[in-house]
Amino acid sequence: MGVQISLHARDRKLIKIGLDSVICSRGLVQSLLGPHPLCPLESNPSHHLQIKTLAKIVDCPSHRGMFSGSIAPGPCDMAICLELNEHEVLVVYEDKLPGVDVFVCTADPTIEPPLMVINTVLSVMAYDYPPEKLTVYLSDDGCSEQTFYALLEASRFSKDWLPFCKKLSIEPRSPAAYFSNIFDKHDNDHPSKSKELLSIKKLYEQMVCRIETAMKLGRTSNEIRSQHKGFAEWDSVQSPSDHQTIVQILIDGRDSEVVESEGCTLPTLVYLSREKRPKYHHNFKAGAMNSLIRVSSNISNAPIILNLDCDMYSNNSESVRDALCFLMDEEEGQEIAFVQYPQCFVNVTKDDIYGSSLFVGMKVEFPGMDGYGGPAYIGTGCFHRREALCGKKYVEGDKFEWNKGFERKEGSAGKLEETSKIFANCSYEHGTQWGVEMGLKYNCPVEDVITGLSIQCRGWKSAYFNPPRKAFLGIPPVTLDQTLVQHKRWSEGDFQVLLSKYGSLTCGIGKINPALQMGYAMYGLWAPCSLPTLCFLIVPPLCLLKGMPLFPKVSSLWFLPYAYVIGAAKSYSLIEFLTSGGTLKGWWNEQRMWLFKRTTSYLFGFMDTMLKLLGFSETAFDITAKVVDPDVCKRYEQEMMEFGTSSPMFTIIATLAMLNLFSLARGLKWLFTEGLAFEALFLQVLISSIVVAVNLPVYQAMFFRRDRGRMPTTITVKSTVTSEESNGLSIVFKFYIRGHFCNMGLQDDLCSRERRFNEMDMDLVVRRRAVVQSLLGPQPIFSLEPHTFENKLPGVDIFVCTADPTIEPPLMVINTVLSLMAYDYPPEKLSVYLSDDGGSVLTFYALLEASHFSKHWLPFCKKFNIEPRSPAAYFASISDSISQSTEFLSIKMRHTNSSYGSSSIQKLYDEMKHRIETATKFGRISNEIGAQHKGFSEWDSVSSPRDHQTIVQILVDGRDPRALDTEGSPLPTLVYLSREKRPNHHHNFKAGSMNALIRVSGNISNGSIILNVDCDMYSNNSKSVRDALCFLMDEEKGHELAYVQYPQCFNNVTKNDIYGSSLRIIREASLLYVDFPGLDGYGGPAYVGTGCFHRRETLCGKKYVEGHKFEWKRGFVRREGTVSELEETSKCLADCSYEKGTQWGNEMGLLYGCPVEDVITGLSIQCQGWKSAYFRPEKIGFLGVPPNTLADALVQHKRWSEGDFQILLSKYGPLTYGIGRINVALQMGYCVYTLWAPTSLATLYFLIVPPLCLLKGIPLFPKVSSLWFLPFVYVIVAENLHSLFEFLWSGGTLQGWWNEQRMWMFKRESSYFFGFIDTVFKQLGLSNSAFDISSKVVDPDVSQRYEKEIIEFGTSTPMFTIIATLAMHNLFSLVGGLKRVVTDVEGWAFESLFLQLLLSSVVVLINLPVYQGLFFRKDKGRMPASLSFKSTVLAILLCFISLY
């Protein structure tokens, strides 16, 4: 059959300023078939098929359906007429088009009805696109059986609906929308069409009836459940928030037998409900989208992704092809990451009463942003490149090969379902960059905007396309409350984006166009703009009530700027709105909503963001309801505002309306009674008049309406009384706080934080993919199987150090060891070494018990994938947090009869614990126990912990095929080491122990990677080894890295961190949240002695050689020999005399002679050319025990400050040794810590001299009235605000920041001072280095006070004497200073002594717990009486010295 067609070039353009880019059909065809001249095609028969391809893909909208006959040329730019065969056309280009995956998201079947959802699904299934290349996914975050049933019904109905749509070319292709439109228009002219229409409508109504019946009953009948195997999944579903992953392929487009009624292929249709568990945060829509990206990659893996909200049905079946005109354009398409369609709505009233149509945003602002790099991504109606969503950066010149076609995954539907489930499990994202560098971003209410911005900051552009026929139509909010809540979420999220590390004004610098930065900032500033709006709605009316003028008189020339701004702004707004297609009344409604949103939604968004930063609130995600009461719908159609709910927002709106009404009445009275008042008060009267006119619907709802949409009586009374009392803004805040905290219980907990690589200088994108690429070469990101590279992974040796069984209990030590043995890593490549510097037989016995228990514990951990894998921590978390959770109960029920079920394994642990504690209590090992292992005989020769031979015992030999757990899997190697100690040899503390471990492990396992942890620092994340290898084995940058440092975090820090133990905030310190990521950008962080993965070669002194790459592929080979032989040959490596005449402790291993051997070792490694990396995963890698008393905390910081100061003065000082070896910024970073000790002198000066002078009346600072006072004020305010903001931004609380300030002062006046003195004494030869071990054993009373955040002063220490003396000194000085100010008649004392009074006042406030400990507390944690007396006397002496 021959047909004549007319081809008209489409005028599709990217609206750009300064960029003449025309994206049209030519580019698309060239990208598919190669370059072809457009004009000569008429005379070249070989190009006929290409032209037909062009016509089919991007035919002009006015000439669609051109295969029905001869079409005359239209008014487009160009026409080409050809004779072609229709069948040949389909063959040419259909196999060249890319696959498209469509994501539809729903979350709650009660507010997002399944019938509405499937109408959206059916509309996208019916796209004018090759069905075998189209896959539709429905993500059901509500895990509703009714939604699944509705989708099953839709899959059957699609077999009739899709051929009906394509045969008759109907629009729209949502059945509900189409039938509504067609019967409204009575379009039944064509008899055949009418017959088919009635038939398909009947099928649809029958489907609707079945779905609504099931929804009404709230369940699916047994008859329905028997229709599909998928219903069986709901037998295991506990609740919508606690269930396994469900993946069901309802239509498999690969199956040749699955066809529609006309015999054509159907698109693939997939149902997904990702796993949810109470203890895992699900990250709302962003989490659902990321699960869809991964699951779809396993099933269809299309390069193009379209995502839609479930209420946003497709209104244009050509939308896919339209979007491809941008993405596949030959010249500019490779730059575009996503194509955004406008967000349009189907049932907006004529004058858009709630401003839902977003006229200006969609028709002015987004096209404007399009000219500077592209619009924002707004969460629906957006076509993405999969690679851009998966974190790929834009590379100039890189072009996607569309010609390679589209291939689906192999395997049966059942197999694909099973293999896809893992991608949607709760734990899948742990240890990955999902939600941070890949997929949609987490921890933000507007995950779409922040994701789009981050994509653009990676170099991509976006495009905005607003076709004449709207691509998607949704359902807007139909009540005022829903509209305000929706805008509250938008403004809150945009403000959070602005303040986050992805803020357009910070992250966007140099990455996106400055104009685009401003465009994003406009939305980011929505929330704070509520404050000036409230000011203009409250202050002028209040002043008008009092007759106080705020603006210039009408007769004044200064009135003209005000008149110009008001007139110009409103005229511009009106013209812009009308040219965008709005009406005059619609503009007035827009002004009303402008006022309502800024006084309620944006204010609440601002307050919620502030509360979140202060740690008082957490992120929530409010879903807009799509179900509307018929009465509400009727009033909406009549454009009557809905006020029928009690909301804090309505209270604010009504209060401000009444305040302005009363103010206007009073103002008019002023105008009529006093002629002069008109000129002075005109602008205030004008403002109140406009506000009153805008609020007319509010007054109607308060006093005149009688329907259910009127304002509730309680709000009417409350707002009227409030406005009459003129309490203004304070009332607004009161209602906000009340409403906010009443609803806090309904908000979801936010449990996951962003996982980042905080880097400033090194572009290191590290994923697990890098590990595999370094082993096997490039692999598809989702096609990796663990068994393909396990044999290529390097060996890992883990060092655990303990020194004293009395302060580091053996039970705690073996819990750390067991957590490390249970790593998710090949056990034959894992070796755990325990270095016991206490030479304790009790520790050896505990380790022997742990080796037996590990045979049960390791398979239990791996089978149930538990975290953490420290038995004590795991059982404590189970009993404290989720003992009643359905997940744990189900585990117990399913494995009650298992040899190591949960109750069985806990019983085994309790028995082991009892045996160890009994032996520890007696302080010795019984003969019966001693006979269990040959190693106990070693202690027959031990004289004391400081005088004994080397003891090496291999308790588990991983090479032995008989060393298996209860499941038959191999166990990691486990080695006990107690190095030789003799009184006449210095043992060099922890550094000596580590060096002995390096040598002994080199003889036994010789792993390429070494992890060292403190004995109290158990592993909290079984993926930590693999995460660290992502850095060390990275193909591009890994060879530069010497070590990967994890943050030092603690598991029992109090809410407000009373001792500042977390180094800023719980779990993530400022030191580790701000400082270390900063160091990371200039060469890497310091080595902090625990939680650090090293290359063995760097610890052994190897210098970095440019271009040298470690050959990981050479694999892992263990040493040969029997256990006894290895033990004997290893002993000499740990002898006291081994290091004599060698470079150990100098050029090899950890360096000696410094209390902070870790920091100086890390610095020396970096000075040899190596870099390091800092990794702070979402799930903390290691958790330890912080000091639980003030004395322990101060002693610990004394050792740190002393050691750091010694580094500064040593030959390895960063300011001397580091010159030319490390980055200057990294030198400065180290100096921050090395100068801790000397800063104590300046702190002591400020705590002693100003108070002394205050007592004497000697001013030290400028007067308040002096200009020189301003620099002091600026420094004080700026420094403390910066400190507060940094602390809160890092996740701390306000009380936590105050505690941090207290510890800042305590440490500098005691710990750092003693560290400074000790270092000076050591330099003078009057003292030697010592190593103080922090006690891990806490008295129950002390622990109880610690949990209550009561500071512990119960020991007598010189540090407490200094603290108490300075506290009393400042208290006496403050009292004396206040007396001097009060008795001063002339008033000079206040001006002159203000800053000294302020300083002493702050010090006294900080020391309130000290005064309580001195005089008011009666518990054992109070300050000792002798110390109280001593400090008081010393303070009095100081005061007398100053006075006399």
Binding-site residues from annotation for Mn(2+): 990, 1014
User: Burial of 168 by CB count in 10 Å (0-12 exposed, 13-18 middle, 19+ buried)?
Assistant: middle
Residues 6+ apart with CB under 8 A from 158: 122, 125, 126, 251, 260, 266, 269
Where on the phi/psi map is residue 411: left (φ > 0), alpha (ψ -120 to 50), or beta? left
Q: Residues marked as binding for UDP-alpha-D-glucose?
A: 808, 837
Rg (CA), the chain: 37
Number of CB atoms found within 10 A of residue 1403's CB: 21
Q: How far is CA 1323 from each of CA 1200, 1233, 1318, 1327, 1329, rounded to the nearest angstrom?
A: 17, 19, 9, 8, 11
Token pair listed for 1004? 């036994």
Nearest 5°: phi and psi at 619?
-65, 140
DSSP summary character for residue 1086:
P
**Catalytic-residue membership of 837:** yes
- Spatial distance between the Cα atoms of 1255 and 344, rounded to a whole number of angstroms: 72
Give me the residue label for tokens 């010090």: 1403
Is 334 in contact with 396 (CB distance < 8 Å)?
A: no
Q: Residues marked as binding?
A: 808, 837, 990, 1014
Set 837, 957, 1075, 1318: catalytic member: 837
Write out the DSSP string of 1280-1348.
Answer: HHHHHHHHHHTT--HHHHHHHHHHHHHIIIIIHHHHHHHHHHHHTTS-----PPPP----HHHHHHHHT
Token pair listed for 468? 């004449």
**Catalytic-residue membership of 329:** no
Q: How far is CA 588 from each of CA 355, 650, 694, 1397, rounded to the nearest angstrom?
A: 10, 20, 8, 56
Nearest 5°: phi and psi at 433?
-100, 15
- Spatial distance between the Cα atoms of 824 and 545, rounded to a whole number of angstroms: 72
CA-based nearest residue to 689, from 666, 720, 723, 655: 666
Number of CB atoms found within 10 A of residue 669's CB: 12
Give me the residue label for tokens 């891990």: 1336
CA-based nearest residue to 1009, from 1098, 1103, 1130, 1101: 1098
- Orientation of helix 48-58 relative to helix 86-93, angle to 10°: 80
Residues 6+ apart with CB under 8 A from 354: 476, 477, 478, 480, 483, 589, 593
Where on the phi/psi map is residue 283: left (φ > 0), alpha (ψ -120 to 50), or beta? left
Peptide bond into 532 cis (omega under 30): no
- Spatial distance between the Cα atoms of 489 and 623, rounded to a whole number of angstroms: 10
Token pair listed for 714? 């309680």
Where on the phi/psi map is residue 865: left (φ > 0), alpha (ψ -120 to 50), or beta? left
Is 24 in contact with 107 (CB distance < 8 Å)?
A: no
3-state secondary structure (DSSP) of residue 1183: strand
Set 797, 1158, 1192, 1204: catalytic member: 1158
CA-based nearest residue to 766, from 1173, 287, 301: 1173
Number of CB atoms found within 10 A of residue 392's CB: 19
User: Burial of 933 by CB count in 10 Å (0-12 exposed, 13-18 middle, 19+ buried)?
Assistant: middle
3-state secondary structure (DSSP) of residue 652: helix
- Spatial distance between the Cα atoms of 27 and 20, rounded to a whole number of angstroms: 15
Q: Could you list the active site residues?
A: 837, 1158
